[in-house]
Amino acid sequence: MNRRILLLSSEHTGHGHKSIAQSLTTYLNELDATVEVRTANAFDFFPIVGTAVEKSYIPLITHAPFAWGWFFAWSHRFPGVLNWFSKGSMETRFIKLVRDYQPDLIVSVHPGFVGCALDLLEKRGLKIPFVSLIADLVTFSSLWVDKRSSCTISPTSEATAKLAEMGIPAAAVAELGFPIRRRFETPPEVFDRRIARRQAGEPLGILVFANAFPKTRTRKLVGTLLGIAGARVTVITGRDDRLKASLAAAFADQVGTRVMLPGYVTDMERHMGEHDLLITRAGPNTLLESVSCGLPLIITGHVPGQEAGNPGWIESRGLGIICREIPALPAAISGLLADGSRAWFAIAERQRRYAARVAGRDTAAHLLKLLGQTGSAA
């Protein structure tokens, strides 16, 4: 019987957890085609409530970010309360999946299903090795951390140091980087084309990732960017059709020329390859995908809680800059393009060097190593 890995993820709490699961699945399949990999949306373990909670995340961080920040702080301080509620609600469906699928290794890429899943496995006497893969860069919830995990995968040295402070022994931590999807590994020629555009002084192509941006703020942002001579602006609005319609109405005379509104896209890597600058909030997946594509970025904000440390982490490594005030964006962009785009080129080159490490492949290889050590523990 083939060895099996079960990934616990989510579908609608942004796209980050799902992206990591996709990255791991791709690399696991490439490295060992005999290993079966299955991803479960762990919110489906909760009848009705799970779907409602999962789909409330984007509206909450968009329209009530401080409420989310309060919940993050509360769950970080009292993880046992949330784990107690979750395990009672998810037990039947989770245990049924484990019994039916019989995984040899379980990996959670979502913090909400670490402690509660371990509680249930322990309750049922199921000795299945369990891995917690932290999907945040610097600031992360204690929900990710459980000493019963066979391994905790850390994305950064800062996260590793925090795990040590929380009592996780170094032998139980693997610092492997942040896994992104295979298709964001950019060929050298894409880097080179973008650099050639800047050297030729072509009009600036600005990509705006408007996920979790309120409509008023997004309209102001786009209007400000259009004040930059010759700039063309592409706004990714995702499944937010009302935001797309609002922008289409506000900039009707420039849609199709200087303003592009593709809506929901499945080829973000192509859009990143065709632009010269990304403006986004500090979601880790978007940040690292941009870095992998060699696309200099400007961070305009972050979700309270898990994204708090991300802007400083990016800026400290020279992979992008921070500009939280929309009126200051033209000056920030002008600074990047001054003196023959010297600052822009420096960021692009640091991104190229950083992208040389393929964290998704390294993480998949480590999971296969753990799987080889477990035998058929399930």
pLDDT over threshold 60, residue 218? yes
pLDDT over threshold 90, residue 255? yes
For 245, counting Cβ atoms within 10 Å of its Cβ (0-12 exposed, 13-18 middle, 19+ buried), the class is: middle
pLDDT over threshold 50, residue 360? yes
4-182+358-374 in CATH: which number? 3.40.50.2000
pLDDT of residue 166: 96
pLDDT over threshold 50, residue 78? yes
Query: Are 102 and 123 spatial neighbours (Cβ–Cβ below 8 Å)?
Result: no
Which residues, in sequence order, are CB contacts of 34 under 8 Å at separation 6+? Answer: 2, 3
- DSSP strand pairing (36-41 vs 105-108): unpaired
Residue 279 has phi, psi (to 5 degrees) of -120, 125
pLDDT digits (tens, 9 = 90+) for 110-159: 999 999 999 999 999 999 999 999 999 999 999 999 999 999 999 999 99
pLDDT over threshold 60, residue 377? no
| The pair of three-digit structure tokens given for residue 253, joined into one six-digit string | 């005379």
pLDDT of residue 376: 40
The domain limits of the chain are 4-182+358-374, 186-354
Query: What string of H, E and C letters represents the secondary structure of the chain?
Result: CCCEEEEEECCCCCCHHHHHHHHHHHHHHHHCCCCEEEEEEHHHHCCCHHHHHHHCHHHHHHHCHHHHHHHHHHHHHCHHHHHHHHHHHHHHHHHHHHHHHCCCEEEECCHHHCHHHHHHHHHCCCCCCEEEECCCCCCCCHHHCCCCCCEEEECCHHHHHHHHHCCCCHHHEEECCCCCCHHHCCCHHHHHHHHHHHHCCCCCEEEEECCCCCHHHHHHHHHHHCCCCCCEEEEECCCCHHHHHHHHHHCCCCECCCEECCCCCCCHHHHHHHCCEEEEECCHHHHHHHHHCCCCEEEEECCCCCCCCHHHHHHHCCCEEECCCHHHHHHHHHHHHHHHHHHHHHHHHHHHHHCCCCHHHHHHHHHHHHHHHHCCCC
pLDDT of residue 187: 74
pLDDT of residue 190: 77
pLDDT of residue 283: 92
Residue 297 CA to residue 313 CA, distance in Å, equals 13
Confidence of residue 1 (pLDDT cuts 50, 70, 90): low
pTM given for the model: 0.91
pLDDT over threshold 50, residue 4? yes
pLDDT digits (tens, 9 = 90+) for 276-309: 999 999 999 999 999 998 999 999 999 889 999 9
Residue 105 CA to residue 183 CA, distance in Å, equals 26
Which of 6-20, 96-110, 181-195, 223-237 shows the lowest mean pLDDT across its residues? 181-195
| The pair of three-digit structure tokens given for residue 2, joined into one six-digit string | 């083939």
pLDDT of residue 374: 66
Identical fold between 4-182+358-374 and 186-354: yes
pLDDT over threshold 70, residue 378? no
Which residues, in sequence order, are CB contacts of 141 under 8 Å at separation 6+? Answer: 72, 75, 76, 79, 111, 305, 306
pLDDT of residue 202: 86
pLDDT of residue 341: 92
Confidence of residue 14 (pLDDT cuts 50, 70, 90): low
186-354 in CATH: which number? 3.40.50.2000
pLDDT of residue 100: 96
Residue 294 CA to residue 350 CA, distance in Å, equals 8
pLDDT over threshold 80, residue 48? no
Which residues, in sequence order, are CB contacts of 13 under 8 Å at separation 6+? Answer: 43, 54, 57, 58, 110
The distance from CA 82 to its chain's CA centroid, rounded to whole angstroms, is: 23
pLDDT over threshold 90, residue 62? no
